[in-house]
Amino acid sequence: MSSFRKYVQAIVALIVMLGLLFGISLFFPIPHVTDFVQNHILTNMNLSIAVAVVLGVAGVYFVAAFFYALFARSKNKTMRLSNDKGDIVVESETVETYAHDAIHDIKEAQNKQVKAKLGSNPGSTKVDIEFDIDENKDAVAVSNTIQERVQRAIEEFFGEAIKGVNVKANPYDANENSQVAATSRPRVK
């Protein structure tokens, strides 16, 4: 999200909160705010309309957000596949485990994390893999190997092509980590 959009959202949120505060102060006395609203906003017709519009927009937004929260689709954790013998339900954890098994023997990649995003069919499935690698190792070759193995394994699992496999390598300095580990040993044996 861009910083300008964040700035605009913050300004709009402040205006809505001020409108709510002014509206609440009409029904429940708030020191200094109630007097300000009665003396300056209610006496000016344009400001009264502006506060009413802000409260109306806020009300519409809250009602829309409420219904969106009630009826929004959740992220797909399962995929239902049908064949001539019945339905098969595949969970994202199953695909993640299958992908992880395909790359568990790659020693150069440490802390492998796999996330599967299932779609309505295998062709819309995406797999994201993130791992740590020593900066002295060939990260591109390891990433390509991981991508090929996972792509092949998941396509073999589904029996058809998937949308893609995204790989992210996080390089680290193994020499620096070993020096930190050596200095952080306990002093008591």
Looking at the fold, whether 97 and 151 belong to one and the same domain comes out as yes
Looking at the fold, whether 142 and 64 belong to one and the same domain comes out as no
Looking at the fold, whether 111 and 169 belong to one and the same domain comes out as yes
Statement: residue 183 has pLDDT above 80 = no
pLDDT at res. 19? 81
Q: What contacts 71, CB < 8 A, 6 or more positions away?
A: none
Task: Give residue for tokens 């797909």.
Answer: 76
Q: What percent of the chain has pLDDT over 70?
A: 89
Question: Count of domains in the chain?
Answer: 2
Q: What angle do CA 124, 126, 128 make, to 5 degrees?
A: 175
Contact present, 156 and 117 (Cβ < 8 Å):
no
Statement: residue 49 has pLDDT above 70 = yes
Looking at the fold, whether 99 and 159 belong to one and the same domain comes out as yes
Looking at the fold, whether 42 and 82 belong to one and the same domain comes out as no
Domain containing 31 equals: 3-71
Residue 177 confidence class, pLDDT cut points 50, 70, 90: low
Looking at the fold, whether 59 and 82 belong to one and the same domain comes out as no
Contact present, 52 and 42 (Cβ < 8 Å):
no
Residue 76 confidence class, pLDDT cut points 50, 70, 90: low
Reported as half-sphere exposure (CB side, CA atoms, 13 A), residue 134 has a value of 10
Looking at the fold, whether 91 and 170 belong to one and the same domain comes out as yes
Statement: residue 14 has pLDDT above 80 = yes
Task: Give residue for tokens 């792509």.
Answer: 151
Mean pLDDT score, 50-60: 84
Give helix then strand counts, H and E, for the chain: 6, 5
Looking at the fold, whether 161 and 101 belong to one and the same domain comes out as yes
Looking at the fold, whether 64 and 140 belong to one and the same domain comes out as no
**Domain final residue pick, 28, 46, 71:** 71
Element (H, E) at 153: helix 139-158
Looking at the fold, whether 65 and 103 belong to one and the same domain comes out as no
Q: What contacts 77, CB < 8 A, 6 or more positions away?
A: 91, 92, 93, 118
Residue 189 lies in a domain: no
Residue 153 confidence class, pLDDT cut points 50, 70, 90: very high
Looking at the fold, whether 123 and 44 belong to one and the same domain comes out as no
Mean pLDDT score, 54-73: 81
Mean pLDDT score, 42-59: 84
Please tell me the distance from the alpha carbon of residue 151 to that of residue 164, in angstroms, as a whole number: 7
Residue 181 confidence class, pLDDT cut points 50, 70, 90: very low
Q: How many CB atoms lie within 10 A of CB 22?
A: 22
Looking at the fold, whether 158 and 91 belong to one and the same domain comes out as yes
Residue 128 lies in a domain: yes
Q: What angle do CA 83, 86, 89 make, to 5 degrees?
A: 90
120: CATH: 3.30.70.1350
| pTM tops 0.75 | no
